[in-house]
Amino acid sequence: MTYQWALNGTNLPDATSSSLRVTNAQLTNEGVYTVLITDSFGSTLSEGAQVFIMTKPSILVSPQPTNLAVLTGTPVSFTTWVSGSV
């Protein structure tokens, strides 16, 4: 069998093994990944796998959320603002 991985419909160079590993992922690695598998009987294209890259969120306001002791079953909420991207 042969394999060819693609990102958003564009073949990835040297991505021809049965698994694909992306190291040090960046926003440019975000998108839909597919693999075309071919053997002597023909070929088949996998369904697309959508990959999102998340950047490290940052807390924008003080104070940051802190511990809170309440009785079991008592509703509680924490509020803060964060910045980042999907």
Tokens matching residue 6: 């693609």
User: Could you report the per-residue pLDDT of 28-83, keeping only the tens digit for each?
Assistant: 999 999 999 999 999 999 999 999 887 777 766 656 667 778 888 888 877 666 66
Nearest to 21 by CA among 8, 33, 39, 38: 33
User: Could you report the per-residue pLDDT of 5-32, keeping only the tens digit for each?
Assistant: 999 999 999 999 999 999 888 889 999 9
- In angstroms, the CA 11 to CA 6 distance is 4
- In angstroms, the CA 16 to CA 36 distance is 9
